[in-house]
């Protein structure tokens, strides 16, 4: 059974910083999300506010109100992923209130709650836990790359982005779910804290892993998935982007993870990395495709983040990229991701 939980966003829900909450609203196999706590966005349904799809998860103004409605709740999940992983100051009083009521805190930030003496004391006094899921593992608990991945005989596909916060994890999960619904055994390797929160079985938290062991942890997750789940296809959730200067990432998936196929996620109206002009312009899709091919990986699909697009604009971009790239172009939020399934079936049949 899923564990009843609340998600704390406290004013951040309609920002990119709340992508952890967005993922949990869209679906999790680990927790049963009862409500969100956000004083600025209180509304009847978090799903409708997020993407127009009702999910029966209310946004409430106060923790006390939520616990009166859902007394069975055992956990409060911090639903933001801020720059640098820092805990927003305005969340601290609500965390303290929750601990005082015996509610455990699940924290996916780099700002570890167990490092705060007052919170440790509150948790101990009221029988609650502080779960810092992004705290690095000990080197003795990590794996080094072995080369055994060369034995994997199923397609490995990396879902990568042209920038951060575009919907890589969401696209990855949607493709997995659509494939499974169609009878394809697609499994997903999570690489971030939200993937774990959503109940991912195979994966690791990349940005909390010692650099020497990133390739090995990736390989270990893929091998475990391959040996235990007998998948038809393995998807890897991407992080950041190949050329985002604040955190370039992706070659590990192509080289160490042997991802010979790539689905890119792109926002047609985003011109600069993370909308920061001085960070530089996001390069063209054609140049990204060329880089992938130089590393012996093929671009097999494109998913569009249609932020700031009208539906008409989104469909025009879809048609434009279909003609330019000659691959399936998905509108995940508008249409779903089923158009990629024929391509995946062809990979399996090879």
- Of the candidates 134, 153, 164, the one whose C-alpha atom is nearest the C-alpha of residue 233 is 153
| Alpha-helical runs (H) found in 17-157 | 19-26, 46-51, 63-69, 92-100, 117-125
Q: Quick check: 184 pLDDT over 90? A: yes
Q: Quick check: 83 pLDDT over 90? A: no
Q: What angle do CA 254, 157, 160 make, to 5 degrees?
A: 70
What is the distance between the alpha carbons of residues 58 and 69, in angstroms, rounded to a whole number?
11
Q: Where residue 300 falls among pLDDT bands split at 50, 70, 90?
A: very high
> Which residues contact residue 130 at a Cβ distance below 8 angstroms, ignoring those fewer than 6 apart?
104, 105, 107, 113, 114, 119, 120, 123
> 191 pairs with which residues across the strands?
none
Q: Quick check: 287 pLDDT over 90? A: yes
Q: E strands, the chain, where? A: 3-8, 31-37, 59-60, 75-78, 104-107, 130-132, 156-161, 186-190, 202-203, 233-237, 261-266, 298-304, 329-330
The pTM assigned to this predicted structure is 0.94
What pLDDT score was predicted for residue 9? 98
Structure token digits, residue 176: 């997995």
Supply the mean pLDDT for the chain: 97
What is the distance between the alpha carbons of residues 252 and 214, in angstroms, rounded to a whole number?
8
Q: Where residue 170 falls among pLDDT bands split at 50, 70, 90?
A: very high
What pLDDT score was predicted for residue 264? 98
Q: E strands, 121-192, where? A: 130-132, 156-161, 186-190
Structure token digits, residue 33: 């999300």
Q: Where residue 158 falls among pLDDT bands split at 50, 70, 90?
A: very high
The count of other CB atoms within 10 Å of the CB of residue 211 is: 8
pLDDT for 24-53, tens place per residue?
A: 999 999 999 999 999 999 998 999 999 999
What pLDDT score was predicted for residue 1? 82
What pLDDT score was predicted for residue 256? 98
What is the distance between the alpha carbons of residues 161 and 267, in angstroms, rounded to a whole number?
9
Kindly state the average pLDDT of the residues 96-114: 98
pLDDT for 239-276, tens place per residue?
A: 999 999 999 999 999 999 999 999 999 999 999 999 99
Percentage of the residues of the chain whose pLDDT score is greater than 90: 98
Please, are residues 108 and 193 in contact by the beta-carbon 8 Å criterion?
yes
Give whole-number Cα distances, 343 to 154, 158, 208, 302, in Å: 14, 14, 34, 12
């Amino acid at each position: 059974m899923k564990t009843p939980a609340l998600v704390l966003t406290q004013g951040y829900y309609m920002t990119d910083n709340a992508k952890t909450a967005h993922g949990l609203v869209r679906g999790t196999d680990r927790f049963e999300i009862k409500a969100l706590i956000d004083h600025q966005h209180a509304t009847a349904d978090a799903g409708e506010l997020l993407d127009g799809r009702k999910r029966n998860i209310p946004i409430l103004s106060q923790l006390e109100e939520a616990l009166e409605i859902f007394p069975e709740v055992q956990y409060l999940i911090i639903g933001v992923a801020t720059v640098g992983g820092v805990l927003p100051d305005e969340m601290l009083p609500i965390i303290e209130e929750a601990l005082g009521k015996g509610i455990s805190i699940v924290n996916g930030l780099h700002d570890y709650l167990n490092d705060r003496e007052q919170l440790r004391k509150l948790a101990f006094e009221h029988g609650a836990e502080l779960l810092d899921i992004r705290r690095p593992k000990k080197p003795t608990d990590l794996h080094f790359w072995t080369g055994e991945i060369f034995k994997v005989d199923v397609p490995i596909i990396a879902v990568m982005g042209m920038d951060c916060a575009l919907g890589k994890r969401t696209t990855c999960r949607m493709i997995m779910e659509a494939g499974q619904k169609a009878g394809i055994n697609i499994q997903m390797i999570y690489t971030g804290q939200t993937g774990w929160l959503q109940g991912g079985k195979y994966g690791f938290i990349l940005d909390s892993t010692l650099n020497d062991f990133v390739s090995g942890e990736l390989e270990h997750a893929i091998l475990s998935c391959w040996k235990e789940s007998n998948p038809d296809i393995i998807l890897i959730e991407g992080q950041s982007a190949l050329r985002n200067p604040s955190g370039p990432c992706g070659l590990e998936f192509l080289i160490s993870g042997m991802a010979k196929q790539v689905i890119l996620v792109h926002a047609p109206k985003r011109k600069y990395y993370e909308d920061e002009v001085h960070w530089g312009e996001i390069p063209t899709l054609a140049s990204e495709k060329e880089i992938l091919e130089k590393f012996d990986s093929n671009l097999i699909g494109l998913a569009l983040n249609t932020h700031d697009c009208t539906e008409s604009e989104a469909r025009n971009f879809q048609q434009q990229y279909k003609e330019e790239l000659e691959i399936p172009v998905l509108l995940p939020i508008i249409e779903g991701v089923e158009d990629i399934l024929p391509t995946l079936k062809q990979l399996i049949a090879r």
